[in-house]
Copies of this chain bind each other. A is one copy, B any other.
Amino acid sequence: MTKNRKAPVPQMVDIARLAGVSKSTVSRALADSPLVNDKTKALVKKLAIEHNYRLNVAARNFRLKESLTISVLLPTAVGADWRLSDPFFLELLGAIADSVDAHGHQLLLSRTSPQDGNWIKSFVEKRNADGLILIGQGSQHKAINELAKNYKALSVWGAKLEDTMHYPVVGTDNELGGKRITTHLLSQGRRRIAFLGLRDSPEIMQRFAGYCLAHNEFDLPWHKSLVVEDQINPSPLQTQLKKLLGLKSGCDAIVASSDVQAMSAIQSLQELGLSVPRDIAVVGYDDITLAQYYNPALTTIHQDRKQAGNFLVENVLSAINGGETTTRTLDPELIVRDSA
């Protein structure tokens, strides 16, 4: 590209000269300050457009010490390199992106290992965003909570914990979700219900609590042998499932901790020659878009991402402005389809 000896990109001072006013007036006019005479304002704006003037955002941000940018930290899938953690997180990301955009901000995307509490902190300290949204607490509640004491512009998708929380959380009522879906299975006569995915995430723990609660309400015991700690990785899953099915009293239903896990389980079961839901019912969690297209269509718990995205963004933005912040618990809607 050839270099012009003139200003390739006009600055405020250029517009000021053209309009016969000062830089400040241009700045004010462009920011729609009520201080400026309407006539001058109109003139300045016209000139700015005519000369294709663009505000130097970097300069503005530097001067104002704000970036109009929100960081979103997405957990990496266990083990693998992204591998698309899970469509649910990405659908949630989409909702967040829309909301951030609607509020006139930008979205900086980063990934992080779910373990890495320190990384979050060092990330914050770079302060190249005005606020931070964490998608999932993972096992990092303590670290996050500690950070939150000094850093307020924080908003987290995840579970509300008993512990004193220094940060606001948005999430569905996991206990209720776990209970609803288990109740659904129990009331269909399922009695040997396996619970998949007791990882160290608080969300799953709460769903498990709901699973127990449902059993209690039916005056039925739950069985430790039916509780399986699992990774998304399919080969161990297949093994685990075989173990479940090999139990003396067998297993007639499975509560998975995500739709992806449910799909993976269903496929394994079918490979083992079992029919879902006839031989064994399987329920998911999340209600990702693909859940309805699955075969059999997945019975699952819907997590409202649009609402979640809005709440998450409202929380950071409010915190950035020194305002209040609200922990929100969304309704875990049971979606009954064909898999259970």
Contacts and interface: CB of A to CB of B under 8 A. Distances in A.
Interface string A281-318: 00000001110111111000000001000000000000
A266 B294 CA distance: 9
Contacts of A218: none
User: Which of A97, A106, A290, A294 neighbours the largest number of chain B CB atoms within 10 Å of its CB?
Assistant: A290
Nearest to A128: B57
A306 B80 CA distance: 12
A263 B290 CA distance: 8
A188 interface: no
A323 interface: no
A111 interface: yes
Interface string A84-98: 110100110111011
B267 A297 contact: yes
Interface string A104-127: 001111110000000000000111
Interface stretch (A58-66, A194-202, A242-250): A58-66
Contacts of A132: none
A321 B94 CA distance: 31
A155 to B, nearest CB: 17
Given A81-B98, A98-B81, A295 B294 contact: yes
B84 A97 contact: no
A127 B295 contact: no
B95 A82 contact: yes
A58 B54 contact: no
A67 interface: yes
Contacts of A84: 87, 90-91, 94, 288-289
A260 interface: yes
A37 interface: no
A152 interface: yes
Contacts of A82: 91, 94-95, 97-98
A218 B73 CA distance: 51
A35 interface: no
27 contacts: A1-B152, A52-B125, A56-B127, A57-B126, A57-B127, A58-B58, A58-B62, A58-B65, A59-B62, A81-B98, A81-B306, A82-B91, A83-B289, A84-B87, A84-B91, A93-B109, A94-B111, A109-B109, A234-B293, A260-B289, A260-B290, A260-B293, A263-B293, A263-B294, A264-B293, A267-B297, A294-B295
Given A106-B108, A267-B294, 17 more contacts: A54-B125, A56-B127, A57-B127, A58-B58, A58-B62, A81-B306, A82-B91, A84-B87, A87-B290, A90-B90, A98-B111, A106-B110, A106-B128, A107-B110, A267-B292, A294-B295, A295-B296
